[in-house]
Amino acid sequence: MARRITPQMKVATVLRAYPDTGAVFRQHGCPDMSRGVFSLMCRVMSVRAAARVQRIPLANLLRDLNAVAAPAGSGASGKRSSQPPAPRAENTAALAAIMAKEIGQADAGGNTRAVYRASARLTHNLTVEAQARNFTMLVDEPPSFGGADAGPNPEEVVLAGVGACQVITAALYAAHLGIPIRGYAVALRGYTDLAGFYGIAHGDNPTGFARVVCEVTIDSDASVEQLEAFERLVEERCVGHGTLRAPVAIETSWKLAGAAPSGSKSTS
């Protein structure tokens, strides 16, 4: 297959020439390049830079981009695919080893507790800069709600986090259990009544999601029975699912800038 996409090409150029490659960028963890500030960034960012920023092996990204960009008859498939290539299981053995080690330590009574940290700050209007470790993303509202659409809104971020947690759980347990998974994707919808947000009493409806629907697509040669059991296990052990299912205690404190924190307040 003749290589058509090179490391020096701008991401925007690639997306214009081969629209299907947008799914490949997203599969590799890149944000939606067609929205908000990312649509501006991709005009100046090369494929090489995108790989570096997202910590993606450049060779893998180019391989998958060119697989989608291949014209009819140039590759094994004989046609351009509207779907991204199936994820490679290049680190299945490493994932299996990690799971075996961690589960063994947990079975032996080792520490299983973890603390995750994130922060968020208002930057302008409704645009929020959220940070976790050394990763930064923008969260915003659409113009219809007073925002600049610089990123997904908080509720969409929650759904994306739960979905990502489910997919990662599936990948780890597929490796651990030896289940052949070529692809695993989940689409989520969250249903809520915003009456509580507006301060209006409306029955017993919570201020938050009352229902979340997850639609899972699995690409695998395993039997239906195996996959049904596997999916039940994924949903039971996914931290994101568990967080939504169970009441979570929330402790808050506040302070004036430059002052010591006030007393904390706990809700559950």
Average pLDDT, the chain: 84
The two tokens of residue 212 are: 């979340």
pLDDT value for 31? 75
In the predicted model, is pLDDT for residue 37 greater than 70?
no
Sign of CA dihedral 190, 156, 245, 210: negative
In terms of pLDDT, which residue wins out, 120 or 61?
A: 120
Contact 2, 74 (CB under 8 A): yes
Are 139 and 154 within 8 A, CB to CB?
yes
Strand (E) positions, the chain?
A: 119-124, 127-132, 135-139, 181-192, 209-220, 250-252, 265-267
pLDDT digits (tens, 9 = 90+) for 169-191: 999 999 999 999 989 999 999 99
Q: Tell me 143's DSSP state.
A: G
The pLDDT of residue 139 is above 90: yes
- Spell out the residues 6+ positions from residue 25 whose beta carbon is closer than 8 angstroms to its own: 11, 15, 33, 50, 65
Q: Domain map of the chain by residue range?
A: 11-69, 92-252
Give CATH superfamily name and number for 92-252: K homology (KH) domain (3.30.300.20)
Q: What is the pTM of this model?
A: 0.65
pLDDT at position 142 over 80: yes
